[in-house]
């Protein structure tokens, strides 16, 4: 890559600096201190890599103004042009214009730079003396790795990669770390392991728990057995204790029994039995005495009762009478009321018959037809009479209505009037015409006014046109379009002429200005030329310059010769002092001065030819060529004289001689040279051979004069040119003036023509075309107005006629209608008339309708009257029929239908009455019969019973009979009862006597069975017996109790024996002791059971414990993770190792490549003094080896040589780097200052080598360096920063 152009907008002291077309080889930037070398150097660096990140860097603000920043145009290895632009100092603000014209940024820039970074660039490509002197910068790790990565062709920092791998690796595992993942996993696994180990103990624990469980069960069994035994014992003691009371009773009973008297037997409940027997006997005795008393009482009662036997015999008849008494009483009571009813009914019937009429009796009643058909025919008759009556009434009403209507119609007809109707059509037409009439009348008014106005207006316009213009003149005037066309043409012609004249005038003015300008310029030039008038002649100057260049060339020769002379003198002195001196110049004169002279000649020739004075150049060249030829011949002659085969002394002598000779010769030569130089110097105006500086000054002066001369000549040339131009301008000015004059004449002609036309048109000749056009348009307007007025007049007249016609018509009609002309406006008169007519018209319509109606009404009236007559006839027929009907029934013919119907209902009531009378009569007869029968019966009975009829009512007698009968039957019943009771009492008495006998026997037996004579004795015996049985019972109970506890037979015996042997307090003590024992034993058992339960729980828990499953799964998961991570770690470690190894290999194989390159450079620079550079592996040390094989470390090298070594190493790196990456421009900042000229030169050669591949910028403040570089590279471009 090479920098093609540098543009600085503003950077430090530079502003708007441009350097274009920089060559691809070496560019030397020269300048004194503060000329801006570092600034430029920094600018290039910053353009590439931006501002470094350090806070203390110099930002190089634009001191001379301009935008901070600039551009670099670079051409890459492919020959494409890129532009890198940075501005305003922002770090990332880089713009790259790509070869294809697109813009890019940082990425594109990095690509272009081949991934070289600031570090590499600043240490290897762009460096000054300071960087050169520090080898450490070269060993910078990043530079190294950059170099290696340059080899890989990738932009990755190997050390960065190494670090990143290490860091990931360390995050995974560190042998003694705790945070990394694997360490943590180990810890975690350890923890879980412990947990699992704990869980794994479960089975063992389970087995041991089971064993323990068995043990406990066994223990419990044993304890239970023991407690069982105890319990048995305890219950035995408790048994003993429980029967102790019984035992005591048993013993006591036994002794008591023994003490009682012997009594073999005694009846059971003997005492009780005795007492009961006694009581029974007593009771029986009482019963017997009561029964006898009762018997006596009954006999007395029987004797006191005697009932009425005859009455009792008639008992049934009396009872029958009793039952009939109620019937008899009610019939007796009813009879009078029935007779009364009968009488009333009969009276009612005769009344009703009277009501019907005198002819009516019960027979007539029988005869009368009162069937339903007869009644129906009456009703029908009544209905038809009613209907016909209604119809007659209705018809009459209708007739009345019709008559009313006819009356009303006749009244209305009288009101109508019809005279107006005759003129109805005319009146309507007139009414329709009212609006038009009004409009016409209005128009007539306004039209007349307008006509007046128009006429005055026209008159005014015409008077404005000027005198003599009236309507007649207007009609005469020619206003055709051709005449108008003429006016337009004329006007155009006049305008054109005027414009042309104006244009020419402008041109004339311009020409005048130009002439003035040229004159001024000529004047200025003349002044300038005046300044150069004092210049020397050019020939003289040319000679002077030739002389100077000759001096410039010969001066070093002279100096050399003088030097040689001095050395010769020194040698001569040496020879003189020691021995015959040995000349150094064994080969005679050196040949190089001849070459130098020839070279100087060449330079002179070239110089002069550049300056355009080839001739003088040739002269100088020939002169110098001759000199060199002479010298060469001499030198070769001298060298051909060889002092072979002489003695040593002679040799020395001859050498001395030779030295002297050559000295002389040299002296001569110097003099000749000086003479020639002086001659030249004189030509230049020097007295003697001047100093180079003075000479150069003179040369410069002359050069300047030469330039000035050239300028003066150029100025003169220009003056001449201007003069020529002036002449030309003057000529054209005159020409222009002539043209203007011709144009003015033409204008005059046109004007004359116009005037002629005006006159011919009868207009004032002073008028301009515009004026005439105006007049024309005015005339046209007047004509238009005239036409309008005529039209208006016509219309007004027409309207007037119409109005008049209408008015006449209206008056005639009004008259016809006999309407007075009231003096109001005609229109309203007509309107009123129209309203009247329309009213009359509608009235007529109505009258017609009424007439039709009255006709209809009369017709209807007649119809109704006929119908009424007919209906009356029908009514009469019906009346006749009715009278007939009445006659047949023998009724009064005057009876109405309603009365007949009434008779019907009265007849029915009569029949009802008749029926009731008959019924009553029957009832009365039956009642009388039954009363008589009853009375006879009563009398019979009384007679049988022997009782007289007392005169009392029959029913009372019956009542008495009945009560007597009841009394008699009661007495009879009582007697019977008493008899039965006496018999019963007798039987009872007999039975009581038997019982008494039995009981007495029983008592005797009882006493005998109780071994007693008396009852008292018996009671005594009974008491003893009771005592005895009581004791025996107690004894037996006690025995049973004991037996129940002890068991039977043998066990009982043993038990009793035991009872006999023990005492209660001892037993109680034993019992307490045993109870305590048992209690503690039971406690033991329950404790053990609890313990066993706990063990069971534990076992159950162990059985349910599934925690292990999860833990194991988690452990496996952790182990798997560990496995994965360990592999990951291993891969990283291996990767790091491979990388390290690769770096090592690369260093081993690549480093020599750098060093081989560096070695070539170093050898070249030191002119082969040092042949080898080497750097042992694993060491940053560098050693050099000289051509004799002697090794030196850097410390042993001189400063200059060390710097040359560093320079060589950098060159080596550059070469190597460029092989794999884009070669960047190299920037040196005065690195050669410490080099001796020779090494300087050889270094230049080295740089030249480098410059074949890389662009090289060399910054220096030393002109010699510049010169040397320029000498080494003829194509070098030197840029003087001072001059920029």
Taking CB under 8 A as the criterion, the residue among 57, 59, 63, 156 binding other proteins is: 156
Contact map string, positions 1054 to 1093, toward other proteins, x by CB under 8 A: ----------------------------------------
CB of 1205 to other proteins, least distance (A): 27
Q: Does 163 sit near other proteins (CB under 8 A)? A: no
Tokens representing residue 800 in the block: 């007037």
What count of other Cβ atoms lies within 10 Å of the Cβ of residue 113? 20
Among 209, 659, 886, 1240, binds other proteins (CB under 8 A): 209
DSSP, residue by residue, 1086-1105: HHHHHHHHHHHHHHHHHHH-
1105 in contact with other proteins (CB under 8 A): yes
87-116 positions binding other proteins, by CB under 8 A: none
Sheet of strand 1183-1186: strand arrangement: 1170-1174, 1183-1186, 1191-1193
**Least distance between other proteins and beta carbon 178 (Å):** 12
Burial of 1194 from C-beta contacts in 10 A (0-12 / 13-18 / 19+):
middle
Considering beta carbons, is residue 694 or 1134 the nearer one to other proteins?
1134
**CA–CA gap between residue 858 and residue 52 (Å, rounded):** 140
Among residues 1108, 1171, 1183, 1245, the one that binds other proteins under rule CB under 8 A: 1108
Among 570, 668, 1127, 1167, contact with other proteins (rule: CB under 8 A): 1127
CA 274/CA 1023 separation, integer angstroms: 13
DSSP string covering 646-665, please? --HHHHHHHHHHHHHHHHHH
Residue 208 CB, shortest distance to other proteins, in Å, is 9
Phi-psi region of 79 (alpha: psi -120 to 50; beta: other; left: phi over 0): left
Min CB(176)–other proteins separation in Å = 10
Burial of 975 (0-12, 13-18, 19+ CB in 10 A): middle
Phi, psi (deg, nearest 5) at residue 1278: -100, 130
Pick the closer one to other proteins by CB: 952 or 1134.
1134
Residue 1124 binds other proteins (CB under 8 A): yes
1262 φ/ψ angles, rounded to the nearest 5 degrees: -100, 115
CB of 1093 to other proteins, least distance (A): 17
User: What number of chain residues touch other proteins (CB under 8 A)?
Assistant: 66
Q: Is 194 in the site for other proteins (CB under 8 A)?
A: no
User: Hunting for tokens 């290999």 — which residue is that?
Assistant: 1145
CA dihedral (117, 119, 124, 125) positive or negative: positive
Contact residues for 1057 (Cβ-Cβ < 8 A; gap 6+): none
Would you count residue 198 as binding other proteins (CB under 8 A)?
no
- Tell me how far, at minimum, the Cβ of 163 lies from other proteins, in Å: 11
Per rule CB under 8 A, is residue 1123 in the interface with other proteins? Answer: yes
Nearest distance from residue 1157's CB to other proteins, in Å?
Answer: 17
Which of 465, 602, 1135, 1284 lies at the binding interface for other proteins (CB under 8 A)?
1135
Q: Is 1137 in the site for other proteins (CB under 8 A)?
A: yes
CB of 84 to other proteins, least distance (A): 22
Per CB under 8 A, does 1109 bind other proteins?
Answer: yes
Nearer to other proteins, 1026 or 1142 (CB): 1142
Using CA atoms, how far residue 1171 sits from 1158, 1189, 1209, 1212, in Å, is: 11, 8, 14, 15
**Stretch of 17-25, 143-151, 215-223, 1021-1029 lying at the interface with other proteins (CB under 8 A):** 143-151
* Of the residues 57, 59, 614, 1138, which one makes contact with other proteins according to CB under 8 A: 1138
C-alpha neighbours within 13 Å on the C-beta side of residue 522? 15
Among 78, 577, 734, 1110, binds other proteins (CB under 8 A): 1110
State which residue, 192 or 613, has the beta carbon closest to other proteins: 192
Min CB(76)–other proteins separation in Å = 17
Least separation in angstroms between residue 1123's CB and other proteins is 6
Answer yes or no whether residue 1103 interacts with other proteins by CB under 8 A. yes
Angle among Cα 1160, 1164, 1168 to the nearest 5 degrees reads 100
Phi and psi at 1274, nearest 5°, equal -60, -30
DSSP state of 1224: P
Which helix (H) or strand (E) covers residue 1277, if one does?
strand 1277-1280
DSSP-based three-state secondary structure for 30:
strand
- Per DSSP, 534 falls in state G
Token readout for 1094 is 């706990």
- Which listed range, 150-158, 249-257, 409-417, 1256-1264, lies at the site for other proteins (CB under 8 A)? 150-158
Q: Is 680 exposed, middle or buried (0-12, 13-18, 19+ CB in 10 A)?
A: buried
Tell me which of 119, 181, 206, 921 binds other proteins, using CB under 8 A.
206
- Vertex 752 angle, CA 750 and 757, to 5°: 95
Considering only 1122, 1197, 1270, 1284, the residue that binds other proteins (CB under 8 A) is 1122
* Alpha helices (H) along 889-953: 897-944
What is the rounded radius of gyration, in angstroms, for the C-alpha atoms of the chain? Answer: 93
From the CB of 1176, what's the least distance to other proteins, in Å? 21
The Cβ-side half-sphere exposure at 644, using a 13 Å CA radius, reads: 5
Q: Using CB under 8 A, which of 203, 400, 764, 1014 touches other proteins?
A: 203
Binding segment for other proteins among 278-286, 317-325, 1016-1024, 1121-1129 (CB under 8 A)? 1121-1129
User: Can you say whether the dihedral through the CA atoms of 484, 488, 494, 498 is positive or negative?
Assistant: positive
Residues 6 or more apart whose Cβ sits within 8 Å of residue 934? 324, 327, 328, 954
Give which of 23, 84, 40, 131 is closest to 1251, Cα–Cα. 23
Which x/- pattern, by CB under 8 A, does the window 1142-1161 give for other proteins?
x--xx--x------------
Interface region with other proteins, contact rule CB under 8 A, candidates 531-539, 839-847, 1137-1145, 1210-1218? 1137-1145
- 1094 near other proteins, judged by CB under 8 A: no
Q: What is the DSSP string of 252-301?
A: HHHHHHHHSPP-----TTHHHHHHHHHHHHHHHHHHHHHHHHHHHHHHHH
Among 1134, 1196, 1264, 1267, binds other proteins (CB under 8 A): 1134
Q: How far apart are CA 1022 and CA 267, in angstroms?
A: 8
Shortest approach of other proteins to residue 217 CB, angstroms? 13
Which residue in 173, 247, 437, 1273 binds other proteins (CB under 8 A)?
Answer: 173
**Residue window 1220-1259: x/- pattern of binding to other proteins, with contact defined by CB under 8 A:** x---------------------------------------
Q: Does 731 bind other proteins (CB under 8 A)?
A: no
Q: Tokens in use for 949? A: 């009829």
Measured from the CB atom, is 648 or 1141 closer to other proteins? 1141
Q: Nearer to other proteins by C-beta: 421 or 1153?
A: 1153
Rama region for 15: left / alpha / beta (φ>0; ψ in -120 to 50; rest): beta
626 or 1119, CB closer to other proteins? Answer: 1119
Q: Which residues bind other proteins (CB under 8 A)?
A: 148-149, 151-156, 158, 161, 164-165, 168, 173, 175, 182, 186, 189-190, 200, 202-203, 206-207, 209-211, 1102-1106, 1108-1110, 1112-1124, 1126-1127, 1129-1135, 1137-1139, 1141-1142, 1145-1146, 1149, 1220
């Amino acid at each position: 890559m090479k920098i093609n152009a540098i543009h600085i907008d503003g950077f430090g002291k530079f502003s708007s600096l441009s350097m274009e077309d920089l060559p691809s080889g070496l560019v030397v930037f020269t300048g004194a201190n503060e000329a801006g070398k570092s600034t430029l150097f920094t600018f290039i660096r910053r353009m590439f890599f931006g501002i470094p990140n350090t806070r203390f860097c110099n930002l190089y603000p634009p001191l001379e103004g301009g935008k901070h920043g600039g551009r670099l145009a670079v051409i890459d290895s492919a020959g494409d042009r890129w532009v890198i632009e940075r501005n305003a100092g922002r770090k990332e603000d880089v713009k790259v214009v790509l070869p294809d014209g697109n813009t890019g940024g940082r990425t594109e820039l990095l690509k272009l730079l081949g991934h070289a970074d600031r570090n590499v660039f600043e240490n290897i490509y762009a460096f000054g003396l300071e960087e050169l002197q520090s080898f450490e910068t070269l060993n910078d790790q990043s530079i190294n790795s950059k170099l290696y990565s340059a080899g890989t062709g990738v932009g990755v920092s190997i050390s960065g990669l190494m670090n990143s791998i290490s860091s990931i690796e360390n995050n995974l595992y560190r042998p003694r770390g705790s945070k990394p993942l694997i360490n943590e996993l180990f810890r975690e696994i350890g923890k879980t392991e412990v947990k699992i180990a704990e869980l794994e103990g479960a089975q063992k624990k389970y087995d041991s728990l089971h064993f323990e469980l068995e043990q406990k069960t066994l223990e419990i069994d044993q304890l239970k057995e023991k407690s069982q035994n105890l319990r048995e014992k305890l219950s035995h003691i408790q048994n003993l204790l429980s029967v102790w009371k019984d035992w005591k009773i048993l013993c006591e009973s036994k002794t008591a029994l023994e003490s009682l008297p012997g009594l073999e037997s005694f009846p059971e409940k003997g005492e009780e039995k005795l007492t009961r027997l006694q009581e029974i006997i007593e009771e029986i005795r009482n019963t017997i005495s009561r029964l006898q008393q009762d018997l006596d009482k009954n006999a007395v009662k029987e004797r006191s009762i005697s009932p009425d036997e005859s009455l009792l015999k008639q008992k049934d008849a009396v009872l029958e009478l009793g039952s009939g008494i109620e019937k008899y009483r009610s019939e007796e009571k009813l009879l009078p009321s029935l007779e009364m009813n009968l009488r009333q009914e009969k009276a009612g019937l005769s009344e009703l018959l009277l009501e019907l009429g005198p002819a009516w009796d019960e027979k007539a009643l029988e005869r009368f037809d009162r069937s339903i058909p007869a009644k129906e025919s009456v009703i029908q008759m009544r209905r038809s009479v009613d209907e016909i009556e209604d119809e007659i009434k209705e018809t009459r009403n209708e007739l009345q209505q019709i008559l009313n209507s006819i009356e009303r119609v006749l009244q209305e007809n009288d009101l109508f009037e019809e005279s107006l109707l005759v003129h109805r059509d005319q009146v309507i037409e007139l009414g329709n015409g009212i609006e038009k009439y009004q409009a016409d009348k209005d128009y007539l008014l306004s039209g007349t006014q307008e006509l007046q106005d128009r006429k005055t207006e026209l008159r005014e316009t015409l008077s404005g046109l000027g005198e003599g213009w009236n309507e007649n003149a207007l009609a005469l005037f020619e206003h055709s379009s051709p005449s108008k066309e003429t006016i337009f043409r004329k006007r155009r012609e006049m305008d054109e002429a005027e414009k042309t004249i104006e244009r020419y005038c402008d041109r004339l003015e311009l020409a005048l200005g130009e002439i003035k300008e040229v004159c001024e310029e000529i004047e200025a030039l003349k002044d300038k030329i005046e300044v150069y008038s004092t210049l020397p002649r050019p020939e003289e100057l040319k000679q002077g310059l030739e002389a100077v260049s000759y001096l410039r060339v010969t001066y070093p020769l002279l100096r050399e010769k003088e030097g040689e002379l001095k050395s010769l003198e020194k040698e001569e002195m040496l020879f003189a002092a020691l021995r015959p001196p040995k000349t150094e110049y064994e080969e005679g004169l050196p040949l190089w001065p001849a070459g130098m002279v020839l070279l100087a000649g060449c330079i002179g020739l070239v110089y002069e030819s550049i300056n355009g004075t080839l001739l003088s150049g040739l002269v100088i060249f020939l002169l110098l060529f001759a000199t060199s030829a002479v010298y060469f011949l001499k030198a070769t002659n001298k060298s051909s004289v060889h002092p072979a085969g002489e003695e040593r002394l002679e040799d020395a002598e001859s050498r001395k001689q030779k030295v002297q000779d050559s000295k002389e010769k040299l002296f001569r030569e110097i003099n000749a040279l000086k003479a020639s130089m002086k001659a030249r110097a004189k030509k230049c105006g020097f007295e003697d051979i001047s100093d180079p500086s003075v000479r150069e000054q003179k040369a410069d002066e002359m050069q300047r004069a030469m330039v000035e001369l050239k300028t003066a000549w150029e100025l003169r040339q220009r003056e001449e040119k201007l003069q020529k131009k002036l002449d030309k301008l003057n000529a054209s000015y005159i020409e222009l003036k002539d043209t203007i004059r011709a144009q003015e004449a033409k204008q005059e002609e046109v004007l004359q023509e116009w005037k002629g036309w005006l006159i011919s048109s009868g207009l004032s000749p002073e008028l301009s075309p515009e004026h005439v056009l105006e007049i024309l348009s005015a005339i046209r307007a007047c004509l238009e107005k005239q036409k309008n007025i005529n039209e208006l007049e016509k219309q007004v007249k027409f309207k007037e006629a119409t109005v008049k016609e209408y008015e006449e018509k209206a008056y005639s009609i009004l008259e016809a209608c006999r309407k007075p002309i009231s003096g109001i406006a005609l229109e309203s008169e007509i309107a009123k008339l129209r309203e009247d007519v329309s009213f009359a018209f509608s009235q007529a319509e109505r009258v017609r309708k009424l007439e039709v109606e009255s006709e209809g009404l009369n017709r209807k009236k007649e119809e109704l009257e006929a119908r009424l007559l007919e209906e009356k006839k029908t009514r009469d027929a019906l009346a006749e029929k009715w009278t007939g009907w009445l006659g047949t029934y023998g009724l009064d013919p005057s009876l109405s239908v309603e009365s007949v119907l009434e008779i019907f209902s009265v007849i029915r009531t009569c029949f009802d009455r008749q029926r009731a009378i008959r019924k009553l009569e029957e009832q009365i007869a039956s009642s009388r019969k039954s009363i008589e029968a009853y009375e006879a019966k009563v009398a019979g009975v009384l007679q049988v019973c022997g009782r007289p009829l007392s005169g009392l009512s029959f029913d009372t007698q019956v009542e008495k009979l009945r009560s007597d009968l009841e009394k008699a039957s009661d007495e009879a019943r009582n007697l019977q009862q008493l008899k039965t009771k006496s018999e019963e009492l007798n039987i009872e008495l007999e039975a009581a006597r038997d019982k008494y006998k039995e009981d007495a026997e029983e008592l005797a037996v009882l006493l005998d069975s109780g071994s007693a004579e008396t009852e008292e004795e018996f009671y005594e015996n009974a008491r003893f017996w009771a005592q005895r049985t009581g004791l025996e019972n107690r004894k037996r109970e006690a025995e049973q109790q004991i037996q129940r506890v002890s068991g039977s037979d043998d066990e009982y015996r043993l038990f009793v024996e035991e009872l006999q042997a023990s005492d209660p307090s001892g037993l109680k003590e034993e019992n307490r002791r045993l109870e305590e024992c048992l209690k503690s034993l039971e406690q033991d058992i329950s404790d053990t059971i609890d313990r066993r339960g706990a063990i069971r729980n534990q076992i159950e828990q162990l059985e349910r414990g599934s925690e292990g499953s999860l833990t194991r799964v988690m452990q496996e998961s952790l182990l798997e993770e560990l496995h994965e991570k360990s592999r990951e770690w291993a891969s990283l470690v291996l990767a790091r190792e491979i990388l390290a190894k690769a770096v090592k290999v690369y260093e081993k194989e690549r480093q020599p490549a750098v060093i081989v390159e560096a070695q070539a450079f170093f050898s070249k620079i030191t002119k082969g003094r040092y042949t080898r550079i080497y750097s042992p592996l694993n060491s940053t040390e560098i050693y050099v080896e000289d051509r004799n094989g002697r090794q030196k470390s850097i410390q042993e090298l001189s400063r200059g040589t060390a710097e040359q070594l560093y320079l060589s190493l950098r060159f080596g790196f550059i070469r190597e780097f460029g092989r794999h990456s884009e070669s960047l421009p190299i920037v040196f900042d005065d690195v050669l200052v410490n080099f001796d000229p020779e090494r300087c030169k050889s270094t230049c050669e080295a740089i030249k080598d480098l410059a074949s591949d890389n662009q090289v910028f060399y910054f220096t403040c030393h002109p010699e360096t510049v010169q040397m570089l320029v000498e080494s590279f003829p194509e070098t471009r030197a840029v003087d920063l001072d001059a920029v």
